[in-house]
Amino acid sequence: MFVAFVGCFAAGTLPSRGEEPALSEAVVRAAAALREKALAGTHAFEILKSLTVEVGSRFAGSMGDAAAVAWGLRTLKKLGLSNVHSEAVKVPRWVRGPASGEILRPYAHPLALVSLGGSVSTAPEGIEAEVIEVASLEALKAVQPEAVRGKIVFFNQKTERARDGSGYGKAVDVRSRGAIHASQAGAVAVLIRSIGTDQNRLPHTGGMWYDDKVPKISAAALSNPDADLLAAEIASGQPVSVRLRISNRELGQAESANVVGEIPGREHPEEIVLLAAHLDSWDLGPGALDDGAGCAIVIETARLIAEVAEKPRRTIRVVLFANEEFGLSGAKAYAKAHEAELARHIAATEADFGAARVWRFRSRVAPEKLAAADAIAKLLAPLGVARGDNRTHGGADLIPLRAARVPLFSLMQDGSHYFDVHHTANDTLDKADPKDLDQNVAAYATFAYCAAEMNGGFGEAPPFPQKKQ
Amino acid sequence: MFVAFVGCFAAGTLPSRGEEPALSEAVVRAAAALREKALAGTHAFEILKSLTVEVGSRFAGSMGDAAAVAWGLRTLKKLGLSNVHSEAVKVPRWVRGPASGEILRPYAHPLALVSLGGSVSTAPEGIEAEVIEVASLEALKAVQPEAVRGKIVFFNQKTERARDGSGYGKAVDVRSRGAIHASQAGAVAVLIRSIGTDQNRLPHTGGMWYDDKVPKISAAALSNPDADLLAAEIASGQPVSVRLRISNRELGQAESANVVGEIPGREHPEEIVLLAAHLDSWDLGPGALDDGAGCAIVIETARLIAEVAEKPRRTIRVVLFANEEFGLSGAKAYAKAHEAELARHIAATEADFGAARVWRFRSRVAPEKLAAADAIAKLLAPLGVARGDNRTHGGADLIPLRAARVPLFSLMQDGSHYFDVHHTANDTLDKADPKDLDQNVAAYATFAYCAAEMNGGFGEAPPFPQKKQ
């Protein structure tokens, strides 16, 4: 008893009277050993290199996507996971064609731009129109419709750099829904300042959505320097005209797949600790950070734990999701196919925020199970990871698990530079640092091992507030 | 005498017995006042903004080049310079067309690449060949010809980051002469790792040259991440094939012009202090740093000095040279047209290294005139500028002045980040900091005012060593 108490104290859990501590002394020791082993060096960078060199870009439904599924299957098998298989997922098939644009007046310049993902094409000769600049969706509402009608709306909203990536959420609505609002106001096309924190002439793509009740208009993102230039011309007070040509194709649906591999639990194989990442990327680049790094982190985490002499009590399941970027197809398919076992998903986390170090550990567990999450947090502290709150939203692919009240966790990576390359051609292997990936694996391995081995689970996650419409 | 001595001591010149000090107390005071005025804020950034927004890219012989000449003339006039005029210069007319490439085997990837400036086209269907990697021109010489014949040579030479930009000089020969050497060895095309210190997928162009006695082969630069990828595929040990398509045009010669403006000297208008920059840029971007910043710095320097109540004794001449990038056409034309007055060029300097702060002051003056250069250095010291050596080469546009032994000066800017954007689409206004430009103007104004006002000149510059062949 004394020994057990010392053990849980070392892990920072003070059990309720008469309860077993979440983490036994032996589990704390084993988790710490895994953590230190990972810190000493992992294969994560090599796995990421293999994905970016042997596959590269892998947008939903593309040849690269199919190659990525094959890569995922052979990699998980090679690295010793069990029950490696794919689960079919239907994905929308949108194919980027050429996109170009230029300022015509008052000062002519070519523009570095890309179609937003899902944008319809312009007429072959393009659209030529005057540009009206607004700062946000809110600002657009304040503009008189006659000032917008027949024009190209330029959403000039900057993305703030932030460690927690919060600048993205504040800015991204002009990308995802700007075309709907602009079209409702009578605009003929949309240009946005890239949702990104860099100053490279490599524009950021990303998903955009239409409303079937509103005419679909083309939308493209300018690189930040090009947005600066367009804004400078507009600031001159002269009317500014732009020509925009976009040619994309909608090809219905295509086949893709979630890739799954496991370390079967030795005592409760039916209980699942889910380690998620997404296998797809945008089409502009090899998606090293988004989300090659996440794939490498969760794969290497599983490989490391699979090497432990005694397998954890619960099953650790790695899922590399299909088509996160363009509609969460894989996540929805998984939630549906695994509906019956979602109640036995005792924990889920997704690595989908690049390759920088983990700095905060957030949770979403039953209030009475906070001590268990805190105990894991104590084991993460030596990695420079602070304990965050209990209100994490988890990753995008975990959204369909919310209704089942699956406990969620976020090992938050430093996002200060993530949005420099996110959804651009610049998302390449060199942006990942091997030692930072090792720290990630150390954090994920610590978390996953503890969650799979601990006494009791995390209960039911608190429900999410209803979305305001 | 005592007062005069104090004055020159303040400026740090200890005159030889009986000689007048190079800088009188009054000149030191006036130069320091100019320096402080510039530090308090200049129009340099606004001038640069005007060039990049109203003109943008301005490659030799292009429409942008003509617009830049018009911009130069109207800007120099508007800012109060005298004798503003253009001097016609013939420039070669090379026009970039589409360029694309991809790795075909073992792992297919598109490549971010650009033609080197001057490259010939491939056949319309492109060149498809195996790639051989070499580290340098030297390394190529060590390879057996049969290993090169029929292949694409990939020069994988990294550019080191250095404050003085020395990494560029060490790497650039593969760009300028790689195609000659590779063709001599039997290669069918050349790919180089970009001569640049960034990791953006924005390849660096730049001048390349042919030898009429050697078959001309196409040459292109890969962005650094693409060079990493190609190297990784080659490192896999499997044969690597690439397809390259380049389509450029040679259109003979075109008209351009040097743009000239002056502050006529009040006592010796025939003696010239030359402030140079080059007006042309590469075609991929607006050339904000290369060399819009240099233009802005020398123009604003002249404007500031033109405001001084009493004009300097000698003429300060601003020359914005045509076509530095693709053959020094403007510099050669200037040296020829002004041959008779080169001996009266008492000092020349060129601003052509971006927009970052000046950190070192180098000279090339007669040994007996070092004290005069040192006196100016003392006035630059409060700007954080260290005294460099007396062996500067001056800027590229000053090369044709060497034979005339014109004293040369370099106000060396911090080049640590210059080669991140040099010769790329990324060379945009946002890369320049207004306060850093002010510091540049402070340094140039201090130098130019002193050189135009000082007692005596800088003698004859020491000759350059003969180039080894």
In angstroms, the CA A262 to CA B336 distance is 77
Q: Does A170 touch chain B (CB under 8 A)?
A: no
3-state secondary structure of B181: helix
Residue A256 bridge partners (DSSP): A89
Query: Nearest CA to CA, how far is A170 from chain B (Å)?
Result: 23
Give the number of beta-carbon pairs within 8 Å between A and B.
76
Q: Which residues of A touch B200 (CB under 8 A)?
A: 200, 202, 426
The residue annotated as part of the active site, out of B271, B324, B325, B350, is: B324
pLDDT of residue A170: 96
Query: Nearest CA to CA, how far is B235 from chain A (Å)?
Result: 11
Q: What is the pLDDT of residues A366-408, one digit of tens each?
A: 999 999 999 999 999 999 999 999 999 999 999 999 999 999 9
Residue A102 bridge partners (DSSP): A110, A243
Query: Nearest CA to CA, how far is A218 from chain B (Å)?
Result: 25
Q: Does A112 touch chain B (CB under 8 A)?
A: yes
Q: Choose among B53, B233, B431: nearest Cβ to A229.
A: B53
- The ipTM of this complex is 0.94
Q: Does B431 touch chain A (CB under 8 A)?
A: yes
In angstroms, the CA B288 to CA B295 distance is 10
Q: Choose among B229, B425, B430: nearest Cβ to A53.
A: B229
Q: Does B253 touch chain A (CB under 8 A)?
A: no
Q: Does A233 touch chain B (CB under 8 A)?
A: yes
Q: Does B200 touch chain A (CB under 8 A)?
A: yes
pLDDT of residue A162: 97
Q: Do residues A246 and A115 make contact, with C-beta atoms less than 8 angstroms apart? A: yes
pLDDT of residue B18: 55
The residue annotated as part of the active site, out of A324, A325, A350, A453, is: A324
Q: What is the pLDDT of residues B314-354, one digit of tens each?
A: 999 999 999 999 999 999 999 999 999 999 999 999 999 99
In angstroms, the CA A124 to CA A113 distance is 17
Q: Which of B46, B107, B201 is the best substitution to test chain A (most A C-beta atoms within 10 A)? A: B201
Low pLDDT (below 70) residues in chain A: 1-19, 467-469
In angstroms, the CA A48 to CA A86 distance is 20
Q: Does B349 touch chain A (CB under 8 A)?
A: no
Taking an 8 Å cut-off on Cβ atoms, the answer to whether A426 and B225 are in contact is yes
What mean pLDDT is reported for chain A? 95
Q: Do residues B429 and A228 make contact, with C-beta atoms less than 8 angstroms apart? A: yes
Q: Does B201 touch chain A (CB under 8 A)?
A: yes
User: Would you write out chain B's pLDDT as a tens digit for each of its 469 residues?
Assistant: 333 333 333 444 454 555 689 999 999 999 999 999 999 999 999 999 999 999 999 999 999 999 999 999 999 999 999 999 999 999 999 999 999 999 999 999 999 999 999 999 999 999 999 999 999 999 999 999 899 999 999 999 999 999 999 999 999 999 999 999 999 999 999 999 999 999 999 999 999 999 999 999 999 999 999 999 999 999 999 999 999 999 999 999 999 999 999 999 999 999 999 999 999 999 999 999 999 999 999 999 999 999 998 999 999 999 999 999 999 999 999 999 999 999 999 999 999 999 999 999 999 999 999 999 999 999 999 999 999 999 999 999 999 999 999 999 999 999 999 999 999 999 999 999 999 999 999 999 999 999 999 999 999 999 998 765 4
Look-up of token digits 């894991």 = A376
pLDDT of residue A19: 67
Cβ neighbours around B368 below 10 Å, total:
11
Q: What is the pLDDT of residues B16-37, one digit of tens each?
A: 555 689 999 999 999 999 999 9
Closest listed residue to residue B110, CA positions, set A79, A58, A285, A237:
A285
Look-up of token digits 């797949």 = A257
Is B324 noted as a catalytic residue in this protein? yes
In one-letter notation, the amino acid at residue B446 is: T
Roughly how many angstroms between the first and final C-alpha of chain B, as a whole number?
53
Query: Nearest CA to CA, how far is A428 from chain B (Å)?
Result: 7
Q: Which residues of A touch B112 (CB under 8 A)?
A: 425
Q: Which residues of A touch B224 (CB under 8 A)?
A: 430
DSSP annotation string for A147-168: HHTTSEEEE--PPPP-TT-HHH
